[in-house]
Amino acid sequence: MRGVQETVLYEEAMDLKFLDEVYGIPGGDKIKDCIQCGTCSGSCPVSWAMEESPRKIFAMIRAGMRDQVLDSLTIWTCASCYQCAERCPQEIKITDIMYMLKRMAIREDRRRSRKARALSECFVNVVNRYGRNRETELMARFALMTDPLGSVALAPVGMSLFSRGRLPLGGSKVRDIEGLRKIVAKAQELGGE
Amino acid sequence: MRYSYYPGCSLDATGKQYGESIHAVAKALGVELVELDDWNCCGATAYMNVNEVLSFCLSARNLALVGKAGNGKELVTACNACYTNLRKTEVYLNQFPEIREKVGQALAEANMKYEGGVVTKHFLQVLVEDVGLERIKANVKRPLTGLRVAPYYGCQIVRPYGIQDDPDNPMMMDRFLEALGATPTQYAMKVMCCGGSLMGTREEVALRLCRNLLLCAQEAKADCIAVACPLCQMNLDAYQVAINRNYGTNFSLPIVYFTQLAGLAFGLKSDELGMQRCIVPATQIAARYA
């Protein structure tokens, strides 16, 4: 069992620019209204698998603990189910802030971001090519990228889907793929953060 | 009744039986679903990890196509993730001018424009609210008497961008199942998350969530679980063997779409509804009401 940890973080050690980054996303400034009630942590279906609960992560954001937050397993445990956001009495867009933390960690190539980054990259590659997600190709790419040997363990799942016609080879494609790619390029240019 | 229909990517693949049963049920009820011409992927949760504006642009392109098609302003989808992304995009475009501005500029690159005002509905909503339970009942030829079904809503459709229902104890699917003659079971996890894409990135967490769900449904003496999302279906169905291996359990709970059950009650054929595509066999349920 973990003992009680006492951490005192004095103001001069805080990275307050971090808070500004969070304010930068639409609705991000609502984090100012957090009353640390813990409804998010109590509602989260996966808080048991996190290192820091969502409530604690929000306290850490406001204390400017940038590295600790972006290196936390918590952000990679969030399944984006929106239960916290649904229940937050202060209407903070918790799930969207979690998404933002994921983006920052991926951009900075934080160690724990790599698996989710691999999945997102495979997904983006497939969609950039066809405009649609071909699930068979996504699963194959992701398995090869993250765990070529371990993917043998996934094979029964793949085979059971395949044998029931649920993992087709090939698939459909967006007709105006050029137009879609232009939208994607422009969005990436404007996306920022 | 005529709607633009956004199938989403899974309904061509892992959720094939969902697509099949949606079309069969819509046809039986005289609901016309016109596939949205040249639709693109909604970005699922993956794009939100990469770029927020880009994620909104993907859904905005789909919303823009709805206006172009001239089939009214209602868009129907049946995947919880697609549904949430489309609804969320509409909310963000209305609420945040800076997002609207950027999305507008990006769409303009492909000579597209979204004027707003599209209403995205889940197919479950269409059946319950637009078609109405009276007409559903009138179409039932083989009531699912005695079938105990655990209604599983999944997470996103009852959350901030979701259907108008009690977020903790939604009843829409319960009432639908009752109209089919089935018995919806009371159980505590009808809106608990299945883990979604964590099955790919943190498998042990997602497996446990699914194990808990199956256990809860089994304790409620459910004969099967009814789902409304292709990712929930895949996690609970395709991974049930792995769950049994991991936790020493012995689950054998068919995971069927609410549309498949509707089709059975309407007297449609089992293979028209893709019953044979379920990995945990669901064909015996079909046989029971054939």
The beta-carbon neighbor of B279 closest among A131, A164, A191 is A164
% of chain B at pLDDT higher than 70: 100
User: Using CA atoms, how far apart are residues B217 and A185, in angstroms rounded to an integer?
Assistant: 46
Q: Provide block-wise average pLDDT over 10 residues at a time, chain B (290 residues).
A: 96 97 98 96 89 94 88 92 95 94 97 95 97 98 98 91 89 98 96 93 95 98 98 97 96 98 97 97 91
**Segment B149-158, tens digit of pLDDT:** 999 999 888 8
Q: Enumerate residues 6+ apart whose C-beta is below 8 A from B147.
A: B181, B182, B183, B223, B224, B261, B285, B288, B289
CA–CA dist B31, B8 (Å, integer): 19
For residue B100, count other CB atoms closer than 10 A to its CB.
17
Contacts of A192 in chain B (CB under 8 A): 53
Torsion sign over Cα B105, B110, A125, B237: positive
Q: Give the residue from A162, A87, A171 showing the smallest Cα distance to A134.
A: A171
- Domain range spanning residue B256? 133-288
Q: Nearest Cα to B93, choosing from B122, B79, B114, B70?
A: B114
Asked if B146 and B268 sit in the same domain, the reply is: yes
CATH code: domain of residue B73: 1.20.1050.140
Q: Which of A82, A175, A193 to mutate to test the interface with B (most CBs of B within 10 A)?
A: A82
ipTM confidence score? 0.92
Partnered with residue B6 across adjacent β-strands are B77
From the list A79, A168, A182, which residue is nearest B109 (CB)? A182
Please check whether residues B115 and B149 belong to one and the same domain.
no
What pLDDT is attached to residue B45? Answer: 85
pLDDT of residue B147: 98
Residues B120 and B143: their CA atoms lie apart, in Å, by 30
In terms of domains, do B97 and B212 share one?
A: no
Task: Looking at the structure, tell me whether residues B159 and B197 fall in a common domain.
Answer: yes
pLDDT band at A149 (very low <50, low <70, confident <90, very high): low
Alpha-carbon gap, residue B72 to B36, rounded angstroms: 12
CATH of the domain at B223: 3.40.50.11810
User: Which residues, in sequence order, are CB contacts of B27 under 8 Å at separation 6+?
Assistant: none
Q: Is the pLDDT of residue A1 over 60?
A: no
DSSP state of A25: S
Identify the band that residue A26 occupies on the pLDDT scale cut at 50, 70 and 90.
confident
**B118 shares its domain with B138:** no
pLDDT in tens, A85-97: 999 999 999 999 9
Local confidence band at A192 (pLDDT 50, 70, 90 cut-offs): low
A53 touches chain B (CB under 8 A): no
Residue B41 contacts by C-beta under 8 Å, 6 or more apart in sequence? A127, A131, A132, A133, B8, B9, B58
**pLDDT tens string A133-147:** 999 999 889 988 887
Q: Establish if B187 belongs to a structural domain.
A: yes
What is the model's pLDDT at position B224?
98
With a CB cutoff of 8 Å and minimum separation 6, the contacts of B246 are: B207, B211
Residues of chain A positioned with their CB less than 8 A from the CB of B278: 164
For residues B148 and B112, state if they share a domain: no
Provide the Cα torsion A61, A65, A66, A67; round to 10°. -140
Domains of chain A from N-terminus onward: 11-108 (1.10.1060.10), 113-188 (no CATH)
Determine the residue of chain B that is closest to A151 in CA distance: B200
Instruction: Give residue-wise pLDDT tens across range B180-231.
Output: 999 999 999 999 999 999 998 999 999 999 999 999 999 999 999 999 999 9
Q: Are B82 and B195 within one domain?
A: no
Mean pLDDT of A102-110: 94
Same domain, B196 and B85: no
B91: closest chain A residue by CA? A26
Q: Within this chain, do residues B201 and B98 fall inside the same structural domain, yes or no?
A: no
Residue B127 is assigned to a structural domain of this protein: no
pLDDT digits (tens, 9 = 90+) for A172-185: 999 999 999 999 99
> Residue written as tokens 């209602």?
B74
